Amino acid sequence: MDPTAAQRLPSRHYGTRRWVILGGIVAVFICSWWLELKPQGLLPPDASRWDRTGRFFAAALSPALDYQDELTPDDAPPILLKALHGAGLTLRYAAAAMSLAVPVGLVLGFLGSRSWWPQPRPPLSSLLLGFLFTASRSLMTLTRSIHELIWALLFLSAFGVSPLAGMIALAMPFSGTLGKVFSELIDEEALDSARALRAIGHRPVQIFLIGILPRALPNLITYTAYRFECALRSSAVLGFVGIETIGLYIELSHEEFYYREVWTYLYVLLAMIIIADLWGAAIRRRLHT
């Protein structure tokens, strides 16, 4: 390569990056103008709202250790026990959804990757593999393009408020997201082992299971742990459409302006997310050492 041309490559790269950043900034200003976004929109419109805002954030310093509703039955469980029960329900929904989303994501990731395709291949095989690739990619795009709250509303209309509706509502978008990322992680792996296995006559599925998947597995597990954290947050949000998770307790307390109770549930949810994050970090350290 011409040394002068080699020296021009980094400057072209950084020049392109500058234009991308500048275009992003311009897009932010255009969207803000189009949506008529103003800083004043963050401020309460009247004094009563200011008082409510102050009471809400002040409650964060004194979360409830008992119910604020004086009419709460005497046999009601302690609020901390109720919060832990809500956290357990949230965890179960997330785990159930991920137990369905991970195998579906692996299948879609396999079908949506090209690294295991036979080389060379006859025209009929190319046509079939191309169809499977396009169909799986389209399915992944469809499922992850619709937010889990919308899926929840759809399944709640079909099945009513039930654990099945909540689990499927979470599993649908997570399957598409996992499948897309899995396929990209699989295709990014080095193919030297796959080429060696292909050269000695192994079939495409054998090449995938022996030469590609084991090398991609640490990254797949790492990303799955991250998505499990996301599933916990999404599972909590399902409470706002009527499914019993800790999010439902947050919504009910907020509607009654029991802000100290809201913060109790939020702190329990935060603790659960932190534990899940520490668990994921431990898995990452174990896999990459």
The residues near 151 (Cβ < 8 Å, ≥ 6 apart) are 168, 169, 170, 172, 173
- Residue 284 confidence (pLDDT): 86
pLDDT by 10-residue block (mean), the chain, 289 residues:
49 72 90 80 66 87 91 88 95 95 94 84 84 93 91 86 87 95 90 78 81 88 94 93 92 93 96 94 85
- Residue 166 confidence (pLDDT): 87
Is 254 exposed, middle or buried (CB count within 10 Å of its CB: 0-12, 13-18, 19+)?
Answer: middle
| Cβ-based neighbour number of residue 15 at 10 Å | 11
Going by C-alpha positions, the residue among 105, 103, 116, 108 that lies closest to residue 215 is 116
Alpha-carbon dihedral sign for residues 252, 254, 260, 266: positive
Take residue 193 and report the two structure tokens written for it: 């082992």
- Rounded Cα gap, residues 181 and 179, in angstroms: 6
The residues near 96 (Cβ < 8 Å, ≥ 6 apart) are 163, 167, 171
- Residue 13 confidence (pLDDT): 60
Q: Is 210 in contact with 202 (CB distance < 8 Å)?
A: yes
- Rounded Cα gap, residues 22 and 16, in angstroms: 10
- Residue 66 confidence (pLDDT): 92
Q: Is 186 in contact with 169 (CB distance < 8 Å)?
A: no
Going by C-alpha positions, the residue among 170, 258, 275, 183 that lies closest to residue 220 is 183
Alpha-carbon dihedral sign for residues 187, 193, 197, 202: negative
- Residue 102 confidence (pLDDT): 96
Take residue 48 and report the two structure tokens written for it: 């009563």
- Residue 1 confidence (pLDDT): 44
- Rounded Cα gap, residues 194 and 209, in angstroms: 10
- Residue 67 confidence (pLDDT): 92
Q: Is 267 in contact with 63 (CB distance < 8 Å)?
A: yes
Amino acid letter, residue 54: G
In DSSP notation, 109-121 reads HHHT--TTS-SS-
